[in-house]
Structure 1
């Protein structure tokens, strides 16, 4: 049963009442749409940026974001070197939607910096929270930087794979309202509504919105639901100052999809519909695979603000505080038991910037500070046995711990300017990252209670599983340059260093399970904590931008030198394999981003990518075994990616077919578990009417995902890049799925 509370329904019913009142007008006026020039492509390189960065505008989000308009990552699919996979057609299964950029896993917990209006937010701590907090109907654009990045972006737990910024569509100057409803296969439905007050009191404006969405899983029992409330307030202070405040509350429930083994993934005719069990049997080893025992639900709240003040005509200060909280639980069935992980996470911080215009140069001086309390490792993990009726019976505390805040301090500066035909940028950021100490407790004999209640009973501290804090730091220089060779051809280049956050959860778990072996070898947990290191990548890029009429080609070559990658390696002193830093890797390749407005009706958007990402070293896998990984492609990283979208506009019609090719991948670091290449086609169509029955506009949309019903493996869940054969989870892609939508603006 899907848990489906709807805190925003009162708002939605109010919006529906508003729409019915507006529809009382008897006259219907159809306004034809005429386009007289080649339209601007909805996915394109970021204007004025010399790094490898691409932006999707609001029109592109409406198309490429999918029928649910809930997962902004889906809109990145046409960008070069972005391999986005997912287990459902709507993108509601948040953390089972994997993404790699230039072959690097793009997890917000370690390698992808996600910001909202430039403020860090939406950190996903492993397999629990955070969902996507803002409806895509409320976004103006999304921007992704790949590889080298300027110093004033990439503020997050790591930016090794890149940086993603979501720009919110702020309150409008004119009053209005929007309603959007959509329905589709597998019981999908979504209702979204937004009201804008317009400007009032001489400089204030406000919007509120709410949505509710739900779908069944396309295979197996269960489903996903999501209820979201968004609001934004803007205030101007004369001509010098402005304030924006945004709030989001999100509630989601998700029943997980069951992964396939490699052998099962090779026979999709037989196993494509395999999933968790729909019913309880009373047999513990079977009921661990019951669908409701493999699920999660979370409540999340986010507040962020941006204050700007012009000290002079050339100097401006900006201050952007933010706060994020999420609370929920994740259930994981394992063997004959169920693990229940309680997660309570809080994130807060601020950025402060001074921006000065100096002749033909712009100088940005900034400081970012953040505190984050989150797993992994989990602070509360309980073990439940399964009784003969299939019910859960509390067995013991698996983990009872307490941990301080992860602390980030990062000053930065960015200088950019122009000299004739030459444009340049130089930046430097210093990052200090404090990994907090962990205090573990003996939960033996404690009853089933909350984490805080358990700690209030003063359980004994387990010193062997406790550590002190460790601080890691890194300098992150960046440099970019662009030179206009001819009016139609620019040469550009960039260099930058980025970082990835080390994983601590698996390290803690292995030590906990093998504590005696580590202690016998004289290795305390603190030593493993001290050996943690930030993974770094030094990237060099060289590219061109060629313009011929409405045809724009942007080819890029890149090379990245990665250091201190974490891999699971065997330690002969302990006789155990565990995560260790120190392995090097190389990533290099070529990208082509293109757009072409053939005429006033047709625009082509596409990209072609060749990516090589390989480990430089073999890995010791056992006392007499070596994992021969040197020179191999890392798991789940296709060498070839090709995407093409065609936007056709004629009168009131907009038709967008999207074709995507993903080359062969490997599930394991030995490159033994090969996954076939595949191609899919999606189709989107919109019919736009002008003023209808008092409405400003009305749109009817249709979306078909996987138009030709291709069978393929979409997501490969490898964990680390050193994944061993027979340890990888495979997920089939969703079948052909049809959805219809109706949007009205007032």
Structure 2
């Protein structure tokens, strides 16, 4: 391994400096500055460290491995040189999707990735789901510039979605590691792999970009970005997005969002300090969950009663019409509101020729509500609330963290140690507001000015995470063999405090002092290599609506305070081969994962009825599979990329619920297709570009006993674009057309497995989302 000297960069860092001026600012006393930033950041988190006496004295933790932006045109998309299975999305891949598409949806073309949503651009968070190798979204790790985004759940308690964290055009790279993520990843949920996003750097020249998208369902999206250019090492950009559309079904149910991003970079000598800021506001009409029975009786396009208030009132009183048979079949209207602010301060410093420090401090604040009309009469004690009140679930997140790594280059060794500390204070509460004298809300549902009728629940959580790691990368045999070995120590303490509604208080701790990770890659020749890796991981106990404490105190006491509850863990081994030539690239990987102590929610009611759900340890899950990818580039005009995944994930044990044994041993894990295939053909010639994308997902079960499933399906998308080049004062002008669901296929997309049940014999389990019909979007983009 070639030792990194002062003034040199790692391959990824070198690619990230594409926007950096060659000129350098005068050198500063970098060691002092680095230590100053570290000390200031530590001052911010010192109260969190002192809050728990069990903080280990040894230090090691998550490095910002991907804190620098990457230009993927020259980075291997199949993870060449990695000891783990790694796949990356290129800028050419992104062009196949309409502007404003969720960055998560773009990942669906990679092997092992199952992404689902109920809207054409994948933005509506209530219907958004992603899984890797049979692990659902709650058991994956997500980062932006190395900073954790939590587990991206809809009722999030520890982060935010990537769509709210950053505007899509400001993402420089996306990387998926199904199965085994980097040892230094800042995540306490990455049992089944990691998804890492990197923000783009400011351009080195002054300029502006503007794009306008119009399309189906009254979609209008505007994006703008202005770059200052680089002056004496200082550069910055500010950008904004305004998105306005209607849900594809229902009565003019709006889905709106506004976002602002800003980033500042300062490069001096061989060092960099950067600051990223994001603020976003999302107001979305939710797409309703459906059941097989609802789809059969009421049709694919069934939605809310809006604007027919009389029908909603009649249904709440048991007077049904038009195929409706239950008050559960629909509510009058429902919306989600989220406001977020995210700040990330990062510094990367060459302390000596062989010693590099990377340090990041961050803060995230979220305020959110989920508002839905409630078609039932609510009674609790002496309190009675009439039907068609508004059920409002309030979410709050206030989290601060610090992470740092120190890398030492010693001969053939790259030794790295790091740590991550985060304090996450989050709360969840639910209220009912009386609408007796109010006008029905036909668009975004809010509770402003409505009288509070009942407090259903009120609970707060305080989660403290500390993670330390140490890793050595050893290169030998003239750089043909690379060995990686290391381990991490992680502990998360989650403390719940019940404040209303009889909800529970208590504390759980997930701790493991030694979680090893080892891997190797060997270059057979200039084009071919083999790799293998092994990793152990542990997840923290979730908070909020996913916590074991999200129930009554009496239920917790009956379980002895969950003192015997064990944290979820995974052990993964994988083996693969890669080949990369100018004509084509290919990879194949096989894997085996043992997922122990899997916790699942036990649904005690259907639809939107207010009730407490339970939690069960269903034992272990075994996942085995094969992932293939193949990309062919016969010339500069054509590119054909393919991926195929086979997964066999089964429950290893039966579990007990309500005094009964539920027989699930040997059954397939819910929402886990055995076969997935994606094929993408891209063409460009002079000013033209076009693409055709096809994908297949096989049958998926949505009950634990596998008595109910949804059919597999094929989907096709297409894109066509023209680049006008320079037009007058405009540096570049582009026009693109994107088609989603080209052949207007009807299919079941999202399965809300958070509310799965053992069986669904009558087809009444409301956890299904139907896919969007054919949609079209046109985008005009200019550069100034």
TM-score calculated relative to the size of structure 2:
0.80
In 2, the alpha carbon distance for the partners of 1:590 and 1:472 equals: 31
Equivalent of 1:715 in 750, 755, 769: 750
**1:675 lines up with 2:710 in the alignment:** yes
In 2, the alpha carbon distance for the partners of 1:358 and 1:259 equals: 56
**1:406 lines up with 2:479 in the alignment:** no
Q: Retained in 2: the 8 A contact 1:283–1:388?
A: no
**1:119 lines up with 2:147 in the alignment:** yes
Aligned 1:568-607 pairs, distance under 5 A? 578-581=614-617, 583-607=619-643
Aligned 1:56-205 pairs, distance under 5 A? 56-64=89-97, 66-69=98-101, 71-107=102-138, 111-121=139-149, 124=152, 126-127=154-155, 130-131=160-161, 132=163, 133-153=165-185, 155-200=186-231, 202-205=232-235
In 1, the alpha carbon distance for the partners of 2:672 and 2:354 equals: 46
Q: Which residue of the partner structure matches residue 537 of structure 2?
A: 498
Q: Retained in 2: the 8 A contact 1:416–1:424?
A: yes
Aligned 1:83-482 pairs, distance under 5 A? 83-107=114-138, 111-121=139-149, 124=152, 126-127=154-155, 130-131=160-161, 132=163, 133-153=165-185, 155-200=186-231, 202-221=232-251, 222-237=253-268, 239-265=269-295, 267=296, 271-279=299-307, 280-281=309-310, 282-283=313-314, 285=316, 293-336=333-376, 337-375=389-427, 378=428, 380-387=429-436, 393-403=451-461, 405-420=462-477, 421-436=480-495, 438-442=496-500, 465-468=504-507, 470=509, 472-473=511-512, 475-482=514-521
C-alpha root-mean-square deviation of aligned residues, in Å?
Answer: 2.6
Classify 1:642/1:570 alpha carbon distance in 2 versus 1 (closer, same or farther; 3 Å): closer
Equivalent of 2:584 in 527, 535, 551: 551
Q: Which residue of the partner structure matches residue 537 of structure 1?
A: 570
**1:618 lines up with 2:654 in the alignment:** yes
In 1, the alpha carbon distance for the partners of 2:174 and 2:492 equals: 27
In 1, the alpha carbon distance for the partners of 2:334 and 2:473 equals: 50
The offset of 1:675, in angstroms, is 0.9
**Tell me, what secondary structure is at the counterpart of 1:50?**
coil
**1:631 lines up with 2:666 in the alignment:** yes
Q: Retained in 1: the 8 A contact 2:291–2:766?
A: yes
Q: Which residue of the partner structure matches residue 79 of structure 2?
A: 46
In 2, the alpha carbon distance for the partners of 1:316 and 1:612 equals: 42
The offset of 1:124, in angstroms, is 3.7
The offset of 1:723, in angstroms, is 4.8
Q: Retained in 1: the 8 A contact 2:130–2:136?
A: yes
Using the TM superposition, name which of 211-220 and 144-153 deviates more. Answer: 144-153
**Tell me, what secondary structure is at the counterpart of 1:690?**
strand
Q: Which residue of the partner structure matches residue 445 of structure 2?
A: none
The offset of 1:507, in angstroms, is 5.8
In 2, the alpha carbon distance for the partners of 1:42 and 1:705 equals: 29
Using the TM superposition, name which of 172-181 and 40-49 deviates more. Answer: 40-49
| CA deviation map 1:625-660 (0-9, x unaligned) | 432211111111110000011111111111111100
Q: Retained in 2: the 8 A contact 1:255–1:292?
A: no
In 2, the alpha carbon distance for the partners of 1:509 and 1:243 equals: 41
In 2, the alpha carbon distance for the partners of 1:705 and 1:439 equals: 45
The offset of 1:358, in angstroms, is 1.6
In 1, the alpha carbon distance for the partners of 2:458 and 2:770 equals: 36
| CA deviation map 1:201-252 (0-9, x unaligned) | x111110001101110111121211100000001122x13210100000000
**Tell me, what secondary structure is at the counterpart of 1:696?**
strand
**Tell me, what secondary structure is at the counterpart of 1:186?**
coil
In 2, the alpha carbon distance for the partners of 1:482 and 1:260 equals: 47
Q: Retained in 2: the 8 A contact 1:413–1:428?
A: yes
Q: Retained in 2: the 8 A contact 1:43–1:57?
A: no
Classify 1:402/1:608 alpha carbon distance in 2 versus 1 (closer, same or farther; 3 Å): closer
**Tell me, what secondary structure is at the counterpart of 2:703?**
coil
Q: Retained in 2: the 8 A contact 1:331–1:340?
A: yes
**Tell me, what secondary structure is at the counterpart of 1:583?**
coil
In 1, the alpha carbon distance for the partners of 2:710 and 2:729 equals: 53
In 1, the alpha carbon distance for the partners of 2:456 and 2:234 equals: 52
In 2, the alpha carbon distance for the partners of 1:442 and 1:675 equals: 39
The offset of 1:735, in angstroms, is 0.5
**1:705 lines up with 2:722 in the alignment:** no
In 2, the alpha carbon distance for the partners of 1:586 and 1:482 equals: 25
Q: Retained in 2: the 8 A contact 1:543–1:556?
A: yes
In 2, the alpha carbon distance for the partners of 1:622 and 1:283 equals: 35
Using the TM superposition, name which of 687-696 and 246-255 deviates more. Answer: 687-696
Q: Retained in 1: the 8 A contact 2:491–2:509?
A: no
Q: Retained in 1: the 8 A contact 2:354–2:410?
A: yes
Classify 1:570/1:244 alpha carbon distance in 2 versus 1 (closer, same or farther; 3 Å): closer
In 2, the alpha carbon distance for the partners of 1:499 and 1:727 equals: 31
In 2, the alpha carbon distance for the partners of 1:204 and 1:699 equals: 30
Q: Which residue of the partner structure matches residue 643 of structure 1?
A: 678
In 2, the alpha carbon distance for the partners of 1:650 and 1:190 equals: 28
The offset of 1:335, in angstroms, is 3.9
Q: Which residue of the partner structure matches residue 483 of structure 1?
A: 522
The offset of 1:674, in angstroms, is 2.0
Classify 1:745/1:511 alpha carbon distance in 2 versus 1 (closer, same or farther; 3 Å): closer
Classify 1:738/1:42 alpha carbon distance in 2 versus 1 (closer, same or farther; 3 Å): farther
The offset of 1:485, in angstroms, is 2.7
Classify 1:291/1:88 alpha carbon distance in 2 versus 1 (closer, same or farther; 3 Å): farther
Classify 1:683/1:389 alpha carbon distance in 2 versus 1 (closer, same or farther; 3 Å): same
In 2, the alpha carbon distance for the partners of 1:510 and 1:207 equals: 42
Q: Retained in 1: the 8 A contact 2:601–2:756?
A: no
Classify 1:213/1:407 alpha carbon distance in 2 versus 1 (closer, same or farther; 3 Å): same
In 2, the alpha carbon distance for the partners of 1:563 and 1:273 equals: 40
| CA deviation map 1:648-703 (0-9, x unaligned) | 11111111111000111111111111211100100112211221112111111010
In 2, the alpha carbon distance for the partners of 1:359 and 1:721 equals: 53
In 2, the alpha carbon distance for the partners of 1:712 and 1:476 equals: 41
Classify 1:255/1:489 alpha carbon distance in 2 versus 1 (closer, same or farther; 3 Å): same
The offset of 1:59, in angstroms, is 3.2
Classify 1:621/1:577 alpha carbon distance in 2 versus 1 (closer, same or farther; 3 Å): farther
**Tell me, what secondary structure is at the counterpart of 1:465?**
coil
In 2, the alpha carbon distance for the partners of 1:728 and 1:284 equals: 17
The offset of 1:185, in angstroms, is 0.4
Classify 1:482/1:430 alpha carbon distance in 2 versus 1 (closer, same or farther; 3 Å): same
